Chain A
């Protein structure tokens, strides 16, 4: 298995532009998680899906952030408009049974908003 695949690995964009991050979970996993990691705040859970349905989006910082999971093999995290304070590494993770197997993380997308 190729693992959790995220794209792009790096993204540099100007303030105000729309940014879309992509994630392909491991086949057969039924839960998908989006995290943000910064030096100041560490790892933050933004949103998670179970069977393609958003379960908890309380971590989404504001309305500029949105996430979708149109099918079991694809999810997007969109920021519109982007701001410099959104600069971070964004991780996607998937799981079949969190309590038993834990998460499998992707390699992350490093976002820089200038």
Chain B
């Protein structure tokens, strides 16, 4: 079945450091891939998405590229800020599906 595996957290970085959060997936069909962010006390918000291989999703300085050959969708940001402290979830949905498969989430703390 479909599944998503995320790197374990928590991750602690200094401000302006480079961020990578790894995400790999298993899918039977042609999935769309997503990153969601959850700030403390809030719901999950869509951060970025990619719907086909080699697509790059980007938003707020974050990027992720849909790599079919490595079944990966790693999240990156060149220079993190304190305000990026949150939990990040990788997720997939089959193109014709109606459900998400979420990773377990990676907690990021950015210190000044």
Contacts and interface: CB of A to CB of B under 8 A. Distances in A.
Interface of A: 4, 31, 33, 42-43, 45, 48, 50, 55-56, 91, 93, 95, 98-100, 102-108
Given A98-B97, A98-B98, A103-B100, A43 B89 contact: yes
Contact of B43 (A55, A102, A107): A107
Interface string B76-96: 000000000000010101111
B22 interface: no
B5 interface: no
A102 B102 CA distance: 12
A105 B44 contact: yes
Main secondary structure of the interface of A (DSSP, over half): strand
A2 B105 CA distance: 26
Interface residues of B, number: 24
Given A42-B104, A42-B105, A107-B42, A48 B98 contact: yes
B94 A99 contact: yes
B66 interface: no
B46 A99 contact: no
Closest 10 CB pairs of A and B: A105-B43, A99-B95, A105-B44, A98-B93, A107-B43, A99-B93, A99-B32, A102-B34, A108-B43, A43-B102
Contacts of A55: 98
